[in-house]
Each structure stands twice: as C-alpha cells, then as structure tokens.
Amino acid sequence: MTVPASQSQALDAVIIGAGFTGLYQLWSLRKLGLRVRVIDAASGVGGTWYWNCYPGARTDSPSNIYQYWFSDELLEDWNWSQRYVGQAESERYFNHVADRFDLRRDISFNTRVEAATWNEATGRWRIRTNSGEALDSQFLITALGPLSAPVVPPFKGHDSFKGKLVHTARWPREGIDLKGKRVGVIGTGATGIQVIQTIAPEVGHLSVFQRTANYAVPMINPKYSDADRAAIRARYPQTREAIWTTFVGFDEQGETRPFFSLSREERHATLERLWADGSLRIWVAGFMEIFFDPAASAEISDFVRDKIRARIRDPKVAARLVPQDHGFGTRRVPLENGYFEVYNRDNVDLIDLYETPIEYITANGIRTSKGEIALDVIILATGFDAGTGGLTAIDIRGRGGRSLREEWKQEVRTTMGLQIHGYPNLFTTSAPYAPAAAFCNAPTCLQHQVQWISSCIDYLRRHGRKLIEPSAETEQRWLAHHDELADLTLVAKTKSWYTGGNIEGKQNRLLSYIGGVPAYREACEKVAQHDYEGFEVA
Ligand code: NA7
C-alpha cells in the first residue's frame, strides 16, 4: 500500500514498526486525534512474531502477561490456548488486534524506512522509504523492537554453500522441509535451543555448533481449559497491578529473604520450589543476589549445573553443555522443553567451538579444525545487533545534519531510552538504557513507553508546543545513573547481547537499565510531572 503524497504531507506522527509497540502506539495516538502512519518492512503485523517463524518459536513469558492491557474488551474476547504460546498463536493475536481496532488502514506494509532527516526550518521529520516515497511528519517514533537486526557472522565461504543457509529471524514463511536432512545449527541461545529441541527428532542428522554453553530452565506449559482461562481472567486486575511493581515487569515478586540469611537446606528447598514452577521465576522472581553477589551466584549456578548434568548420559557431552564461564541469570535464561535430552540421541552431535572452531563454510557444509561436516541446511541462530541495530540501519539525521549511525559508532547515548539529544521529536522505544531494551518482560516495558510518549505528545499539543528534546546535561545525568547501577551487577561483567559483547567491536555497556521497572517508571513520571524538566520544550 502506498501513501499518496498529498496525504503524507499532513502527518502528525510516523511510527516505524507494526509489532507489539507500533500497534499500541498507533491506537494511542489515534485516540489523541493524530494523523498517523505506520511503516513496516513485513507483509503483516506482529514484528518479532511475524519474522521469527522458525520451528519451535515460542514466548518465554506467560501469555497472561504477554499481552495488551489497554482494552478490557480485548482482554475479554481473546482466549490464550496455553501458558507459553507458540509463534503462530502470537501472530494470530496481533492480527486480531489489528482487525479489532481497524489499525490496518494506517499501516504501509512491505515498506522499509531508509532515512529520516530533521528539517530545522519546518521543525518536522522528512522520512524516505525504499519505495521512493517521502513522508513529512512532526513526530517520528521508532517501534523496532530490541531484537530486529539479525546478525550473520562473517564466516568465510558463506556464499559458496550449495545447500540452504538461513537465519532464524528470516525463516521463510512457507517453511523448510528438514525431514531426513543433514542440518547444522550455529548458536545455542534462546532461539537455538528452541530450534534444536524441535527439529532433532525430524532431521536425519543434526550438528549443533555451540560457542558458549547456556543455562536453561525446563518449561511447564499446560494447555488451558475454559475454567483455567476464567481463573486467569478473574486475576487480571491484580496481574495488571503486579506487572508495574515487580523488578522486571513479571507478575510475581521476588524472594524478600536475603539468600545467606537462610540455611543451606532452606536455600536449596527454595531453589527447588522455584525450579519446579517451570518458568523464569527462579531467575527473575527468585533471589536478587543472582545479579549482584558472586557467592550467591556461584551456589545458585551450581544448583542449575547439577540439574543439567543429571539429564545427559555422556559425561563428556555434559561437561560441554554445562556453563562454567558465567553465572546463572547473568545472560538471558531461556526456557526449554527436552533440550538437554536431545544430546542423548544418536542423530545429534555437539561441536564445541572452543575446542573445534569453524574455519569456513564450504560448498557442502562447514569446515571445522577437525574436518568438513557435510550439511544440507545451515541454520544461523546467531542472534541480533540488539537495541541499536534496528536504529542504525536507518540513516537518521538530527540537528545540523548529525548522523545517529556515526555518533553511535563513538558512543551510544539516549535519555531514558526514550529520546536522544540532538534529535528533536524523535521517540525511541526499546532503545538502550531503558528496561525495555532487554531486562524486562517486553510487553510491560513497551506499553509503559508507549504511554509515556503518548502523554508527552498530548502535553505538547495541549500547551501549544511543537518540539521536545532532552538537553545534553539531562542525557549525561541519565547515562551516569545507568552506568552507576550497571557497574554493581554481574550482568554488566558478562559477555552477551545484553552488553553488546555478542558483536565484535560493539560498545561494551549494559543495554538495559537495571534499576528495575518501578524505579524506571518513577523516573519517567517525574519528568512528565515536572513539565518535562531537563528537556527543551518549544
Ligand atoms: P543470542 O542469545 O544472542 O544467541 C546467539 C547464539 O549464537 C549464541 O549461542 C552465540 O554464541 C552464537 N553465535 C553468535 N555468533 C557466533 C559465531 N560467529 N560463531 C558461533 N556462534 C555464534 O540470540 P538468540 O536469537 O538465541 O536470542 C536472542 C533473544 O531473543 C533472546 O535472548 C530472547 O530474548 C529472544 P555466544 O553466546 O555469543 O558465544
């Protein structure tokens, strides 16, 4: 769908992305009476849940908190099938939302934003798409999601492979027939784990190329009956409250008893109870010391290591699968379903890339230091340029022609992950230094950001103002506060996509604000309550 030039001239806001954030942002701004256009490169809504249609893709947050809260009718008429839903069901939900609220008429699909330039003279953004269209808008809101720029490692010989090579986030919508095939999966993060456990029984032979071993917690994923759904609905008022008051936007508070105030037996009994929940509770609603205290981290990590070891028959394979170089919860903890047992199968090999590195990709497979492994399909579950990759893929030019891409090569800076000094009227959801960038139940944090942005735009309009931009001092203060908290954590000292450590040469700084959801919300609300103090409002 293209936007006629005459219509494009009259826009109040352009939103890039029609995923979780973009759809809600559109709904919110429409309610304020704004003329809005959403642009998305995909052919449908859903963002992450549109693109990541690889086998086994599933949420690791329970469905009762992985949803919108803005409409009671929506809460009433949508029925989740189970605790953790698969990609297809998530995508159906976003399609339902788009239809229910008639959102599609303001969305341009199959369109990619290539550039956005701030026009000093008009005080508006000029946005250029790959179809050659130019949009003119007062506000620009990026709703790209923190994980939308896939990373394809620069393996030599990449183009010579005669089989199929695919990144999980670009999985073809028509699927890939893997039955009986020789398949290689590179990467054992949350995505790799889901793919591996799903395809292992179906493929002829599976070679898993693992760099860093990962912890994972067994998922308990019951299907819901009508009675379950009624009970979950009855708790929605409490759930809706709870997500705003917990550290990472889940609906359960963590342990309040300090880890070492308990006896060893009590500590282990508590860990067993948390483990038995079959959720991320042991990580995000367990002992907070996981994130700060090396001694507690060591004990909790040993508890999880024993759980993993117990499931793998060959002790040599177990030794490779048990993480030794980081503490439990200092990287993203995935949920799994039979993942570790995969390595007890005869048709699966684990290649430890520290022992046996990949040298290059050949026409027929992957050449490691020990020889060639013949493959029909190579699956790259190699992750994303998190937080920044979606934004730097667009040529964004702020005041005086400054380039975000170039500036962020030097240092990535934002104010509360919501705005950037030098880029007036640009709002960035899921950008670095907000919890939404990584360390949060994404729907909680993204909905908060949408609400903050909508209130801010509403404020400007009610006060006859046209422009908002954080001052350099405000931005510096937020960064200093962010760094001060980050430095206290073990997370910031661990290499992962949380710190940019998954990408060669990327700035090493914790992406996510780690003061917790309540503190972040308070900081944002304080700014709004004080008439956007620290921001230039003109
Ligand atoms: P992750 O968690 O970044 O995992 C990527 C995996 O790919 C991880 O095991 C990486 O090893 C591995 N990787 C990346 N580059 C290479 C190269 N060059 N060679 C070998 N192995 C490599 O991404 P996911 O998609 O699994 O998950 C992202 C988020 O999506 C997840 O946290 C959830 O929030 C949903 P490494 O660990 O860097 O040694």
Q: Sorting pLDDT into bands at 50, 70 and 90, what band is 3?
A: very low
Distance between CA atoms of residues 280 and 250, nearest Å: 9
pLDDT tens-place string over residues 465-512: 999 999 999 999 999 999 999 999 999 999 999 999 999 999 999 999
- 52: how many CB neighbours lie within 10 A of its CB? 22
33 has pLDDT over 50: yes
With CA atoms as reference, report the closest residue to 4 among 29, 41, 37, 33: 37
Residue 6 predicted with pLDDT over 60: no
Q: How much of the chain, in percent, has pLDDT values that exceed 70?
A: 98
Question: Distances in Å between the alpha carbon of 393 and those of 149, 150, 170, 404, 406?
Answer: 8, 11, 16, 10, 11
Judged against a pLDDT cut of 70, whether residue 384 lies above it is answered with: yes
Amino acid letter, 68: Y
- Shortest-distance atom of ligand 1 to CA 192: 26
Residue 256, class by beta-carbon neighbours within 10 Å (0-12 exposed, 13-18 middle, 19+ buried)?
exposed
Of all atoms in ligand 1, which is nearest to the CA of residue 187?
A: 7
pLDDT score for 4: 46
Q: E-strand spans in 211-347?
A: 217-218, 335-336
Report d(CA 311, CA 82) in Å as an integer: 26
What pLDDT, in 10s, does the model give residues 220-279? 999 999 999 999 999 999 999 999 999 999 999 999 999 999 999 999 999 999 999 999
Question: Which pLDDT score, from 0 to 100, does residue 439 have?
Answer: 87
7 CA to centre of ligand 1 in angstroms: 42
For 288-320, the pLDDT digits (tens) are 999 999 999 999 999 999 999 999 999 999 999
Determine if ligand 1 sits within 6 Å of the CB of residue 52: no
Rounded to whole angstroms, how far apart are CA atoms 57 and 66?
Answer: 15
Residue 5 has pLDDT above 70, yes or no: no
Instruction: Find the 500 Cα to ligand 1 centroid distance in Å.
Output: 11
Question: Per-residue pLDDT tens for 451-471?
Answer: 999 999 999 999 999 999 999
Confidence category of residue 9, pLDDT binned at 50, 70, 90:
low
Q: Which residue has the tokens 């206290």?
A: 488
Q: Which of 197, 502, 506, 512 to mutate to test the pocket of ligand 1 (most atoms within 8 A of CB)?
A: 502
Element (H, E) at 395: strand 395-397
User: Closest ligand 1 atom to the C-alpha of 153?
Assistant: 18
Instruction: Give me the phi and psi of 219, to 5 degrees please.
Output: -80, 135
Rounded to two decimals, what is the model's pTM? 0.97
The whole-chain average pLDDT of the chain stands at: 96
pLDDT digits (tens, 9 = 90+) for 63-100: 999 999 999 999 999 999 999 999 999 999 999 999 99
Q: Is the CB of 332 under 6 A from ligand 1?
A: yes
Write down the pLDDT at residue 275. Answer: 98
Establish whether residue 187 lines the binding site of ligand 1, counting it when its CB lies within 6 angstroms of any ligand atom: yes
- Smallest CA separation from ligand 1 atom 6, residue: 187
